Structure 1
Amino acid sequence: MPINRYLWFVLIAIFVGLPIGNAADLVTSPPEPAGEEKGIWGAIAFSRADGRHGFFWGADKRKEAEDAALEHCGNAKGRACSVVKVFRNHRHWDDDDGTGFPYEHCAALSVGNVRAETPFWGAASATTRREAEQQAMSLCGGEGKQCKIREWVCT
């Protein structure tokens, strides 16, 4: 049974790990863990309306990190802040709450031309700062979209 070219592209992109679409398509946060939340939490909030942002790290609970990042974004005069990335670090090496939520120690936010009507942006988390920054730049569109790392944080 023949498969059309677009489907091949999508399958290859998924296998290789290439992003498909704009970073704005990836706004949904991973599902909130049920039960005990192990680890040290961090979050990045971003306002697509004006390019303002806020972040927080070192929280004992996911919601605490999200709320603090939103507060910092609001304090930076962000008009429409939302949490765009949540991440956590191991508190103890044997941490495992069975949720499948990854332990990624670092996150980064990349923002392109903020004077554009809809600024390009990307937010990513990874096990190292460098990986998080590279993924955020890729999601934003890279230097061609005038993207720069606006913030990075590691727990």
Structure 2
Amino acid sequence: MRLRYVVAAIGMLFVSTGQLAAADLFTAEQPPAPPPEERGIWAAIAYSTPDEKYGFFWGADKRQEAMDIALKHCKRDKGSNCVVVSIFRNHRHWDDDDKTGFPYDHCGVLAIGKEKRNPVTPWSANSAPTRREAEDLALKACERSGSRCTVREWVCT
């Protein structure tokens, strides 16, 4: 079973980072703990809901490094409430599976609605083994709000 973590609210979509920032949210699946050895090449997406600013980073050796730099890029873009909304990683070597259950998803996508819904624009972030799969997952999750959504940004490690 592939592990995913998406948190949804009516009219708004968020992805969980372990800190919920809105009421009436439910968790579809909780993210597994990071691997102790943190094998792989890490990437992260940060997003600021109020002003639709975002930051990406890929190529980090450690999970926290990817998160910190994605947040920095979001804040540099004048994001007022940046939070990490997706973490994913790629294999550094084909035999580096650490058996923790944390997926080796190579691509991450941020999808944003084309129109504002009370009081924010719907969005979703997701990761998957391929760009197409990540785009499909993010768009479907975002469009559950009733909004038409587009891919705002993508990154593959």
* TM-score of the pair, normalised by structure 2: 0.79
Structure number with greater Rg is: 1
Q: CA deviation at 1:45?
A: 0.4
5 Å-filtered alignment, 1:4-153, equals: 21-22=8-9, 24=13, 26-28=15-17, 30-113=31-114, 115-116=116-117, 117-141=119-143, 145-153=147-155
In the alignment, structure 2 segments of 5+ residues that lack a partner are: 19-30
SS in 1 for 2:58: strand
Q: Which shows bigger deviation, 126-135 or 22-31?
A: 22-31
Q: Which has the higher contact order (CA 8 A, sep 6+)?
A: 2
- Matched residues in 1 for 2:80 and 2:88: separation? 24
Q: CA deviation at 1:98?
A: 2.6
Inter-CA distance 20–39: structure 2 relative to 1 (3 Å threshold)? closer
CA contact (8 A) 2:115 2:148 kept: no
Q: CA deviation at 1:27?
A: 1.9
* TM-score of the pair, normalised by structure 1: 0.80
**Between structures 1 and 2, the one with greater strand share:** 2
Amino acid at match of 1:104: D
SS in 1 for 2:13: helix
**Between structures 1 and 2, the one with greater helix share:** 1
SS in 2 for 1:24: strand
In the alignment, structure 1 segments of 5+ residues that lack a partner are: 1-16
- Matched residues in 2 for 1:122 and 1:138: separation? 9
Q: CA RMSD in A?
A: 2.3
Inter-CA distance 49–143: structure 2 relative to 1 (3 Å threshold)? closer
